[in-house]
Chains A and B, each alone.
Chain A
Amino acid sequence: MQSAHPLEIPEIVSYVASYVRKRNLTTCALVSKTWYQAFNPFIWHDINCEFEGPYLPEALHRHTQLVRTLKADYSSGKEGRKKLLDLRFPNLVSLDLSIILLHEDMKEWVLDHSSVTHLNLNASDLNPVFWSTLFGFRHLKNLTVWRLELSGKDVDTFWQLCTHLERLEVFFPKISYPGNTLSMEFLSIKEFKLCYFNHKVEDFIPKFLQRCPSLTSFWVYGKDSPEFISSISELVAARTWPHLHSITIMACKIASDTRSKIIR
C-alpha cells in the first residue's frame, strides 16, 4: 500500500499553512476538510473589525475560539459595536481597541477579555471609570494607552500593573503623581515609548524610568521640554540602564551639552 501523501497529514498541512500568505489562506481552506481544519486557525488568527457590513460578526461567531488578535475600530457604527459586544473570544492574546465614544456597557466586555497579554487602548473620550477596568488585566505584558489620565490612588494601582509589563507605550499621559512616593521597581520593563505635547505632564516619567533597570529601548516624541530631556540624559550618563541599546528622541530641542552626554 502506498503511504499517504504528506499533504494529507494534518500536522504537515498545518505547518504548510503557517508559511502561506494571508491572502492565499482562504483558497487553500477550500481544498479539503483536512486543509480547512489546518488553515482555519490562520484565517481567523488576526481579525480586524471595521464593520463595513452587517454580516462579519455572523461569520465570526463560529470561529471566536480561533481569534488570537483582535483589532476593533468603533468609529464606524453603533450596529457593529453591538454585535461585537455579543461575542466573546476565549483564546484572545492581543486586543486593540479604537474607540471614539466609550460606553459604560463596554466595560463588562473588556473585562471578559482581561486575560490578554497585549492591550492597546486608543480612546478619545474618556470615562474615568474605564481606567479602573485596566487594573483587571493581570497577565498584561505589553500595554499601549492613549490619553491615560490618572490621579489619586489609581496612580498606585497603575504602578502595580506596570510591575508585570515588558513594554509600555503612553501617548499624551496626564498623571497627577503625588510627589516622591514611588517605591516600586519595574524589573520586567524593557521597552518604553512616550509621546506628549504638554511639557508639564512628564514630571513623573524620569522617576518612573529610574526604577526600570532592565530597560533596553527608549523612545520619546515630545516638544519643548529641555528639563525632561536633560534629566533623561543624566540618567543615561549615570548608567541607570546597563542593557540600553536603543534611544530615540524626536521633535525635541536638545541642548548640545545634553546631546553629548547622551552620546557618551
Chain B
Amino acid sequence: MKVTLESSDGQVFTVDKEVAELSVIIKEMLVIEQANQDHPIPLLNVGAVELAKVIEYCEHHRNDPTIDDDEDYDSRKKPIEMDDWDKQFTIVNKEMMFELILAANSMQVKPLLHLGCRYAADIVKRMSPTEIRDLFQIDDDFTPEEQDKIEWEKQWTKL
C-alpha cells in the first residue's frame, strides 16, 4: 500500500506505507485517518530536500526492528549500530545534518534521530563550552555563580 506525503514547500512524495511508518507521527496519523487517504499527509516542518533524505533513510531501514528508548535504564546508554550505509549517509555538511535532526525529531523517526545525535556528539567531543556555543549559536545563560558551582561539582565527579 502507498502513502503520499507533502513537504512544507508543497512537494509530494509517494512511498510504501511500511516505509512511512518508521515515522511515529505518520504511523499515528494513518491510524486516525484510515478512511480518508485521498489527500497527502502534510509535513509542515519538513522541507522537500530533507524529506527526500528522510525517505531515503527509511527505505534503507524499512525492515529494522523498532527501538523503544524512552527512560529506559539500559537502552539509553546503548549505542546504535551504524552500518556502512549509515556512515555514507552521514557524509553531509553540518547544516544538512542539523536540518535532518530537526526533521527526524518532528516526524519522530527515532533511529534517524539517534544517528544524527551521534553525529552531533562526535562533533562536540573535542570542543570547549565556548566553541560549542559559537558553533550552534547558543547563548551562555549561566550566572558566574552558577558557572562556579558547576566547575566545583565537576572536580568531584572524577570524569
A residues with a Cβ closer than 8 A to B are 3, 5-9, 11-12, 15-36, 43-45, 47-48, 53, 55-56, 58-60, 62, 68, 93
A19 touching B142, Cβ below 8 Å: no
Residues of chain A with a CB closer than 8 A to B98's CB: 5-7
In the complex, A16 Cα to B157 Cα: how many Å?
20
Chain A nearest CB, measured from B146 CB (Å): 8
Least CB distance, B73 to chain A, in whole angstroms: 5
Q: Which of B22-30, B33-41, B52-60, B133-141 contacts A (4 or more CB under 8 A)?
A: B133-141
- List residues of chain B with CB under 8 Å of any chain A CB: 45, 73, 76-77, 79, 98, 101-102, 105, 113-114, 116-118, 120-122, 124-129, 132-133, 136-142, 147, 150-154, 156-159
Q: Is the CB of B129 within 8 A of A19?
A: no
Q: How many A-B residue pairs have CB under 8 A?
A: 106
Determine the chain B residues whose CB is within 8 A of the CB of A60 once the complex forms: 156
Q: A5-B98, A6-B102, A32-B133 are in contact. Are A20 and B124 (CB under 8 A)?
A: yes
Evaluate contact between A28 and B117: CB separation under 8 angstroms.
no
In the complex, given contacts A17-B121, A28-B124, A30-B147, what are 11 additional A-B residue pairs having Cβ atoms less than 8 angstroms apart?
A12-B117, A19-B117, A23-B159, A30-B151, A31-B138, A32-B140, A36-B142, A59-B153, A59-B156, A62-B153, A93-B73
Please judge, given known A-B contacts A23-B159, A24-B124, whether A29 and B150 are in contact too, CB under 8 Å. Answer: yes
CB neighbours of A7 from chain B (8 A): 98, 120, 136, 138
CB of A65 to closest CB in B, whole Å: 14
Establish whether residues A32 and B73, one from each chain, have CB atoms under 8 Å apart when the complex forms.
no
Q: Is the pair A32, B139 in contact by a Cβ cutoff of 8 Å?
A: yes
Closest CB of chain A to B122's CB: distance in Å? 8
User: Which residues of A have CB within 8 Å of B152?
Assistant: 59
Given contacts A6-B101, A24-B125, A30-B147, whether A18 and B142 have CB atoms under 8 Å apart is no
Q: Which residues of A contact B121 (CB under 8 A)?
A: 16-17, 19-20
A17 to chain B, nearest CB (A): 8
A8 & B138 in contact (Cβ 8 Å cutoff): yes
Select the residue from A7, A25, A36, A53 with max chain B CB neighbours within 10 A.
Answer: A7
Asked whether, in the complex, the Cβ of B159 is within 8 Å of the Cβ of A32, the reply is no
In the complex, what residues of A have CB within 8 A of residue B153's CB?
A: 59, 62
Contact of A22 among B132, B139, B159 (CB under 8 A): B159
Q: Are A5 and B157 in contact (CB under 8 A)?
A: no
| In the bound complex, CA of A59 to CA of B79 (Å) | 29
B133 touches A43 (CB 8 A): no
Q: Bound complex: CA of A199 vs CA of B94, how far in Å?
A: 63
Instruction: Evaluate contact between A59 and B157: CB separation under 8 angstroms.
Output: yes
Complex formed: what's the CA distance from A214 to B98 in Å?
Answer: 46
Cβ contact within 8 Å between B150 and A16: no
| A-B complex: 10 closest residue pairs judged by Cβ atoms | A19-B121, A15-B117, A59-B156, A30-B129, A6-B101, A26-B154, A7-B136, A19-B118, A16-B117, A59-B153
B139 touches A5 (CB 8 A): no
B132 touches A31 (CB 8 A): yes
Chain B nearest Cβ from A61, distance in angstroms: 11
Select the residue from A11, A27, A53, A68 with max chain B CB neighbours within 10 A.
Answer: A27
CB-defined contacts of B129 to chain A, threshold 8 Å: 27-28, 30-31
Tell me, in angstroms, the Cα distance from A249 to B142 when the chains sit together. 56
Q: Establish whether residues B113 and A12, one from each chain, have CB atoms under 8 Å apart when the complex forms.
A: yes
Residues of A within 8 A of B154 (CB): 26, 29-30
Q: How far is the CB of B23 from chain A (nearest CB, A)?
A: 16
The answer for the CA separation of A43 and B151 in the assembled complex, in Å, is 13
Q: Which residue of B lies closest to A58 (CB)?
A: B156
CA distance A55 to B147 in the complex (A): 18
A18–B79 Cα distance when bound, in Å, is: 8
